[in-house]
């Protein structure tokens, strides 16, 4: 379908729909919050009933999500010791490999047994589809690393971690997407790094992106798109077909493990619709996790948990942060959006609309690590975190584009339009409104109760119910605390049990964090979109010892 | 994983759709009763909070395992006999009517001990006791002789004579005293032979300073003397409708600052006075002229029909009360006129939104915070809730435990009555010395009185120790705890 995934150059009718859908999320969030406050004043009985219905829904959802968080963690831990290179090579000789797998699970521990069972299922599906991939030796990787003000040490650590994927280094083309407006010192640093690693990879390119190309905004997507186009020319010259290339767009502070690209290659190969799919690893923020204030640790671990939960529902999964996809698909859809801040989720929706709904996100059972926001001083870190979350929440800019796309597209089923449209809308509204409703509005009918309402059974029941719900929610919180202790990397220095407990207690900051570093930035972003006040890309402050 | 997620999703959706209406119905009070004639019934509940906590509950002769504070739910409509009991305390018994969907809350039940704990504070015989309103001081009188007056500080429980052994006016007879809220300055009018003198005394000094201020006053007795602040600069005395201002620093008097007035009050540096159905306002220094706050007209003439004197009192920043010489009582809030005749005194709470007021035989509470009744043709404002009737000569009242109870003296006996419980009987607490006043502080939870036998100053614990009481002794007690006599 021909649909320009942009808010620029619209006709009057399209402009009208664009504005309506831009206003809708913010208006809904504000209406929910203010509506319940108003109801608490004027119709406390109705408000109390709504609060009960809302809290019940929330606690059931919390248990549901916590269950899948545990399951997702379990699934991730099953593949912790998987040799992805061996699995990748196995697909090259599919029939023989399937036969050998049958014998292999005997006598293994339950984790390995389960992992092999999942693998066998995937191989069977691939075989049944008949859509066999190219040989693993013919699959290449393009890694695009956008740079604007990142320090050389951070970029170097990124490239060094990619170099750790020794089996595949010669199949990896690294393209550093360098902003033309970057300072000279940054440019010099990048050049030194490229010299240092030259020869280790298939190639290392620096593509300088000039400012002010017509139709572009000062956003990351414009930079990465420019670099990807240069890489396309490189592959063409090398006669490497685009369908054999997997492109990964990494943030500059990304660190991958030595098996990362093997895992990505395997997932690309095993996926029958590999050219209609993005590949999403679990982003964790472990690079400097023990060097940041406790609240920042909780915020970012929470983000990782959210992504872990999302991976259990690939039908609704959307790309986020560092992600990968078929280069052929990227070229076909016209690369990343060049006028949007949220190019990570934007590329998924752009592809979904372009391929008439035949596009999905495949979760990668591996992690990649990035930096937690750290501005040196705690209050600056709070401000930086706020801005980072607001930028993430600016992903709501996709909603009007997706809805306009859905209105125009006749090939995507109504069910899929409803499903995706509702999820996108609901997730943003929940993000902005839910913490406010939980923290404040839930208590308002009782606090603002007039004499008449305070003499009803409902007044007492609502209070009791609210208390019971919050007690139950602490069970989920305790589960999360334990999971965070298991998931976080070990400290460089050994610490006592007391410190472990203190790190666990940091999770009790969740109610404050949810309001101030999650809901407020989201509401801020939605309000800006509502009033047509666009945001510019803002690079987060990140430090590493 | 996707299939499992779908199964669980639909399971949770079904669970929600089943649970949500059930929980909402239960929250509204609906229960299923096994009795055939009942089926689904809408119930009510009772909520109890007691001081002290931990009282056991019996409803319709059924003993509940929970102790107060607690809520008894799922009660079908009807009347229930309820008893709360705790060892060492008098049982609390009521008949409570439950309506469907409604809650009856008793959130400030004060359980009185079987025997009040009484402590002797001063083992000397006194004839009368007088509290200096909203301060920590009590004046104790052995006789009318000025030398026989002692000052008792209930904060540190010490007593000392008002006048030193060689003070010149020791043998003078105290014939009148003037005090205002939150001020430890007291003005005594004493008589020595045929001569009357005005003595000003600052009670919060280590050695009370007594100054002869007679030169600032006219001959005769003023009907009122008022001032603003703890350590006053000016005294305002009212003589037959004429107001004088006495400057204590310059020891000068400005006579007839206002003339022909029926009463006055001082509030935030201004004099408010009533003259010929007009409420006036003037700076207390008298430099600017008077101006009308509420001018004479049909409304004011209807309100101030009595041309006699009025005690005017700002009980809060927004509420102004007027008490006439015949016991007429009204305020600047709807419905304005509350008592036509016979009001003996009143006692506002700390915030000035509730007033305990009494006539000779009955005691009531006026609650300005009460929401106006909806859908009524005439806007009416609050009405007095008469909580005790059948008294003989009610003379004093204090709010207890916030404003949940009123403690009052009827002749020589002190009673406690709950507020807002029509039909509840007042509990007799103690007998006190004939014709002597009492004082109650909600900060200490104690009643201070002269015991009937010897006339010793004693304190009875009315409130058990609770967090709100311990360690909270500001320099002055909150305003409003005035023993109006």
- Output the CA–CA distances (angstroms, integers) from residue B398 to B322, B348, B462, in the order listed: 19, 8, 12
- Do B27 and A457 count as a contact with CB atoms less than 8 A apart? yes
Chain A interface with B: residues with Cβ < 8 Å: 48-49, 52-53, 56-57, 60-61, 63-64, 67-68, 71, 75, 312-315, 450-452, 454-462, 464-465
Predicted pLDDT of residue A539: 56
Chain B, residues 263-282, CB within 8 A of chain A, namely none
Predicted pLDDT of residue B472: 43
- Do B23 and A460 count as a contact with CB atoms less than 8 A apart? no
Question: b/e map of B328-357 (b: 16 or more CB within 10 Å)?
Answer: bbbbebeeeebbeeebbbbbbbbbbbbbbb
Q: Cis link prior to B335 (omega < 30° from 0)? A: yes
Contact in structure between A148 and A189 (CB atoms under 8 Å): no
B128 strand-pairing partners: B141
Q: What is the DSSP letter of A519?
A: I
Residues B3, A313: Cα–Cα separation, whole Å = 9
Residues A516, A459: Cα–Cα separation, whole Å = 29
Predicted pLDDT of residue A280: 95
Residues A338, A224: Cα–Cα separation, whole Å = 9
How many CA atoms, within 13 angstroms, populate the side-chain half-sphere of residue B108? 14
pLDDT class of A538 with cuts at 50, 70, 90: low
- Do B73 and A53 count as a contact with CB atoms less than 8 A apart? no
Predicted pLDDT of residue A543: 62
Q: What is the DSSP letter of B113?
A: B
Contact in structure between B475 and B443 (CB atoms under 8 Å): no
Please tell me if residue B14 touches chain A, with a CB cutoff of 8 Å: no
B309 Cβ contact list (under 8 Å, min separation 6): B223, B262, B263, B324, B325
Q: What is the pLDDT of residues A350-379, one digit of tens each?
A: 999 999 999 999 999 999 999 888 887 888
Q: What is the pLDDT of residues B46-105, one digit of tens each?
A: 999 999 999 999 999 999 999 999 999 999 999 999 999 999 999 999 999 999 999 999
Predicted pLDDT of residue A391: 92
Taking the CA atoms of residue A153, residue A158, residue A164 and residue A167 in that order, the dihedral angle to the nearest 10 degrees is -140
Residue B468 pLDDT > 50, yes or no?
no
Residues A506, A293: Cα–Cα separation, whole Å = 10
pLDDT class of A544 with cuts at 50, 70, 90: low
Question: Which one, of B442, B436, B430, lies nearest residue B396 by Cα?
Answer: B436
Residue A318 pLDDT > 80, yes or no?
yes
**Mutation site, B47, B49, B103, B372, interface A, largest A CB count within 10 A:** B103
Q: What is the pLDDT of residues A432-478, one digit of tens each?
A: 999 998 888 777 887 877 778 889 999 999 888 888 988 888 888 88
Residue B482 pLDDT > 50, yes or no?
no
CA distance B6 to chain A (A): 9
Q: What is the pLDDT of residues A467-518, one digit of tens each?
A: 898 888 888 888 887 877 777 777 665 666 776 677 677 777 888 888 999 9
In terms of CATH, what superfamily is B43-110? Carboxypeptidase-like, regulatory domain (2.60.40.1120)
Residues B216, B222: Cα–Cα separation, whole Å = 12
Token readout for A248 is: 């990964």
Q: What is the pLDDT of residues B398-446, one digit of tens each?
A: 999 999 999 999 999 999 999 988 777 899 999 999 999 999 999 999 9
Residues A96, A177: Cα–Cα separation, whole Å = 42
SS3 content of chain A, % helix, strand, coil (to 5): 65, 10, 25
Contact in structure between B347 and B480 (CB atoms under 8 Å): yes
Question: b/e map of B250-267 (b: 16 or more CB within 10 Å)?
Answer: eeebeeebbeebbbbbbe
Predicted pLDDT of residue A482: 80
Contact in structure between A200 and A143 (CB atoms under 8 Å): no
pLDDT class of A541 with cuts at 50, 70, 90: low
Average pLDDT, stretch B330-351?
A: 93
Residue B485 pLDDT > 50, yes or no?
no
Residues B172, A366: Cα–Cα separation, whole Å = 98
Residue A530 pLDDT > 90, yes or no?
yes
Q: What is the DSSP letter of A456?
A: B
Average pLDDT, stretch A34-51?
A: 90
Question: Which one, of A293, A66, A72, A257, lies nearest residue A167 by Cα?
Answer: A257
- Which pairing describes strands A245-249 and A140-147: parallel, antiparallel, or unpaired? parallel
Q: Which residues of B touch A459 (CB under 8 A)?
A: 103
CA distance A54 to chain B (A): 9
- Do B103 and A450 count as a contact with CB atoms less than 8 A apart? no
Q: Which of B2, B19, B44 sits opposite A457 (nearest CB)?
A: B44
Question: What's the structural domain count of chain A?
Answer: 1
In a domain, A329, yes or no: no
Count of residues in chain A? 545
Contact in structure between B273 and B291 (CB atoms under 8 Å): no
Average pLDDT, chain B: 90
A140 strand-pairing partners: A245
- Which pairing describes strands A140-147 and A172-179: parallel, antiparallel, or unpaired? parallel
Token readout for B459 is: 């304190």
Average pLDDT, stretch B351-374?
A: 89
Predicted pLDDT of residue B477: 40
Residue B466 pLDDT > 70, yes or no?
no
- Do B103 and A312 count as a contact with CB atoms less than 8 A apart? no
Report the side by side order of strands in the sheet with B354-358.
B345-348, B354-358, B362-367, B385-389
The residue ranking higher by pLDDT, A164 or B377, is: A164
Q: Where are the beta strands (DSSP E) in A266-405?
A: 277-284, 323-326, 360-369
Q: What is the pLDDT of residues B265-317, one digit of tens each?
A: 999 999 999 999 999 999 988 888 899 999 988 988 888 887 889 999 999 99
**Segment B88-96 long-range contacts (CB within 8 Å, at least 24 positions apart):** B88/B113, B88/B114, B89/B52, B89/B55, B89/B113, B89/B114, B90/B114, B90/B427, B92/B50, B92/B55, B94/B421, B94/B424, B96/B46
pTM above the 0.80 mark?
no
CA distance A265 to chain B (A): 22
CA distance B20 to chain A (A): 6
- Which pairing describes strands A277-284 and A360-369: parallel, antiparallel, or unpaired? parallel
Count contacts between A and B (CB, < 8 Å).
80
CA distance B375 to chain A (A): 14
CA distance A457 to chain B (A): 5
Residue B106's SS3 state is strand
- Do A60 and B370 count as a contact with CB atoms less than 8 A apart? no
Domain that residue A110 falls in: 79-129
Q: Which of A49, A313, A452 sits opposite B2 (nearest CB)?
A: A313
Residues A123, A466: Cα–Cα separation, whole Å = 49
B30 strand-pairing partners: B42
Residue A368's SS3 state is strand
- Do A457 and B29 count as a contact with CB atoms less than 8 A apart? yes
User: What values do phi and psi take at B190, rounded to 5?
Assistant: -120, 160
Residue B326 pLDDT > 80, yes or no?
yes
Look up tokens 């999360």; give the residue: A480
In a domain, A115, yes or no: yes
Predicted pLDDT of residue B467: 47
Q: What is the pLDDT of residues A168-220, one digit of tens each?
A: 999 999 999 999 999 999 999 999 999 999 899 999 999 999 988 888 888 99
Query: How many Cβ atoms are within 10 Å of B295's Cβ, its own excluded?
Result: 12
Look up tokens 């006055």; give the residue: B264
Predicted pLDDT of residue A491: 67
Token readout for A216 is: 């572009």
Q: What ipTM goes with this model?
A: 0.82
Q: Which residues of B touch A464 (CB under 8 A)?
A: 71
Residue A371's SS3 state is coil
In a domain, A68, yes or no: no
CA distance B374 to chain A (A): 11
Contact in structure between A88 and A136 (CB atoms under 8 Å): yes
**Mutation site, B28, B71, B385, interface A, largest A CB count within 10 A:** B28
Q: Which of A52, A75, A457 sits opposite B45 (nearest CB)?
A: A457
Predicted pLDDT of residue B471: 41
């Amino acid at each position: 379908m021909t649909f320009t995934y942009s808010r620029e150059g619209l006709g009057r009718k399209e402009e009208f729909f664009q504005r309506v859908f831009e206003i809708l999320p913010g208006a809904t969030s504000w209406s929910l919050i203010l509506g319940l406050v108003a109801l608490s004043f004027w119709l406390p009985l109705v408000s109390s009933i709504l609060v009960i219905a809302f809290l019940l829904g929330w606690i059931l959802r919390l248990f549901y999500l916590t269950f899948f968080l545990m399951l997702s963690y379990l699934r991730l831990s099953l593949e912790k010791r998987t040799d992805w290179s061996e699995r990748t090579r196995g697909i090259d000789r599919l029939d023989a490999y399937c036969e050998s797998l049958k014998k292999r699970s005997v006598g293994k521990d339950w984790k390995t047994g389960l992992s092999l069972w999942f693998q066998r299922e995937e191989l069977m599906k691939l075989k049944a589809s008949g859509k066999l991939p190219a040989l693993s030796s013919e699959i290449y990787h393009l890694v695009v690393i956008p740079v604007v003000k990142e320090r050389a040490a951070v970029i170097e650590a990124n490239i060094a971690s990619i170099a750790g994927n020794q089996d595949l280094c010669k199949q990896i083309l690294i393209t550093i997407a360098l902003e033309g407006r970057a300072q000279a010192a940054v440019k010099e640093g990048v050049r030194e790094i490229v010299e240092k690693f030259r020869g280790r990879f298939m190639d290392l390119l620096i593509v300088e992106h000039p400012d002010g190309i017509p139709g572009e905004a000062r956003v990351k997507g414009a930079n990465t798109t420019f670099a990807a186009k240069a890489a396309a020319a490189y592959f063409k010259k090398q006669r490497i077909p685009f369908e054999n290339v997997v492109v990964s767009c990494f943030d500059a502070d990304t660190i991958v493990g030595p098996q990362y690209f093997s895992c990505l290659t395997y997932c690309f190969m095993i996926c029958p619709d590999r050219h209609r799919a993005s590949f999403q690893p679990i982003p964790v923020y472990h690079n400097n996790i023990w060097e940041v204030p406790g609240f920042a640790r909780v915020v970012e671990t929470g983000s990782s948990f959210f992504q872990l939960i999302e991976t259990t529902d690939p039908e609704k999964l959307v790309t986020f942060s560092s992600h990968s996809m078929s280069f052929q698909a990227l070229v076909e859809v016209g690369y990343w959006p060049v006028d949007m801040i949220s190019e990570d989720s934007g590329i998924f929706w752009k592809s979904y609309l372009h391929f008439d709904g035949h596009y999905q996100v495949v979760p990668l059972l591996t992690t990649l690590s990035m930096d937690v926001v750290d501005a040196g001083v705690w209050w600056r870190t709070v401000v930086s975190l706020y801005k980072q979350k607001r930028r993430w929440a600016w992903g709501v800019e996709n909603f009007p584009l997706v809805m306009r796309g859905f209105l125009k597209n006749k090939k995507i089923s109504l069910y899929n339009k409803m499903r995706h449209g509702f999820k996108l809308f609901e997730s943003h509204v929940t993000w902005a409104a839910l913490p406010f409703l939980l923290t404040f509005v839930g208590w308002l009918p009782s606090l603002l109760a007039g004499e008449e309402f305070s003499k009803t059974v409902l007044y007492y029941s609502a209070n009791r119910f609210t208390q019971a719900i919050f007690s139950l929610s602490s069970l989920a919180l305790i589960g999360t605390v334990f999971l965070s202790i298991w998931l976080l990397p070990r400290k460089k220095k050994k610490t006592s049990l007391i410190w472990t407990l203190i790190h666990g207690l940091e999770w009790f900051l969740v109610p404050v964090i949810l309001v101030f570093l999650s809901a407020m930035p989201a509401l801020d972003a939605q309000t800006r979109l509502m009033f047509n006040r666009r945001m510019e890309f803002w690079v987060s402050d990140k430090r590493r010892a | 994983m996707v299939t499992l997620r779908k199964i669980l999703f639909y399971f949770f959706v079904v669970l929600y759709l089943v649970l949500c209406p059930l929980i909402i119905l239960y929250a509204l009070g609906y229960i299923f009763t096994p009795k055939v004639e009942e089926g689904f019934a809408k119930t009510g509940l009772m909520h109890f909070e007691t001081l002290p906590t931990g009282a056991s509950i019996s409803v319709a002769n059924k003993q509940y395992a929970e102790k107060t504070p607690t809520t008894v739910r799922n009660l079908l409509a009807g009347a229930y006999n309820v008893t709360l009991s705790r060892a060492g305390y008098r049982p609390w018994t009521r008949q409570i009517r439950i309506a469907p969907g409604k809650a009856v809350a008793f959130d400030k039940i004060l359980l009185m001990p079987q025997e009040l704990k009484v402590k002797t504070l001063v083992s000397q015989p006194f004839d009368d006791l007088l509290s200096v309103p909203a301060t920590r001081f009590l004046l104790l009188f052995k006789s009318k002789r000025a030398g026989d007056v002692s000052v008792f500080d209930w904060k540190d429980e010490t007593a000392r004579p008002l006048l030193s052994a060689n003070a010149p006016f020791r043998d003078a007879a105290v014939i009148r005293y003037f005090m205002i809220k939150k001020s430890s300055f007291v003005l005594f009018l004493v008589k020595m032979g045929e001569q009357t003198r005005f003595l000003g005394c600052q009670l919060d000094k280590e050695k009370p300073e007594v100054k002869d201020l007679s030169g600032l006053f006219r001959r005769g007795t003023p009907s009122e003397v008022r001032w603003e602040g703890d350590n006053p600069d000016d005294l305002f005395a009212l003589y037959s409708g004429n107001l004088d201002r006495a400057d204590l620093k310059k020891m000068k008097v400005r006579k007839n600052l206002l003339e022909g007035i029926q009463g006055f009050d001082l509030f935030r540096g201004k004099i408010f006075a009533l003259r010929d159905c007009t409420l006036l306002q003037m700076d207390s220094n008298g430099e600017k002229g008077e101006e009308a706050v509420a001018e004479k007209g049909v409304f004011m003439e209807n309100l101030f029909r009595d041309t006699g004197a009025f005690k005017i009192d700002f009980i809060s920043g927004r509420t102004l009360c007027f008490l006439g010489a015949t016991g007429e009582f009204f305020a600047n809030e709807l419905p304005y006129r509350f008592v036509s005749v016979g009001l003996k005194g009143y006692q506002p709470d700390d915030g000035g939104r509730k007033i305990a007021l009494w006539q000779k035989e009955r005691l009531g509470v006026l609650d300005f915070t009460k929401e106006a009744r909806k859908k009524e043709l005439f806007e009416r404002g609050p009405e007095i809730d008469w909580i005790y009737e059948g008294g003989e000569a009610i003379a004093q009242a204090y709010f207890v435990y916030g404003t949940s109870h009123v403690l009052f003296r009827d002749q020589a006996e002190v009673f406690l009555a709950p507020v807002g419980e029509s039909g509840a009987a007042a509990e007799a607490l103690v007998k006190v010395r004939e014709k002597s006043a009492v004082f109650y502080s909600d900060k200490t939870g104690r009643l201070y009185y002269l015991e009937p036998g010897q006339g010793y100053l004693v304190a009875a614990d009315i409130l058990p120790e609770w967090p709100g009481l311990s360690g909270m002794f500001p320099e002055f007690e909150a305003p409003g705890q005035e023993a109006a006599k």
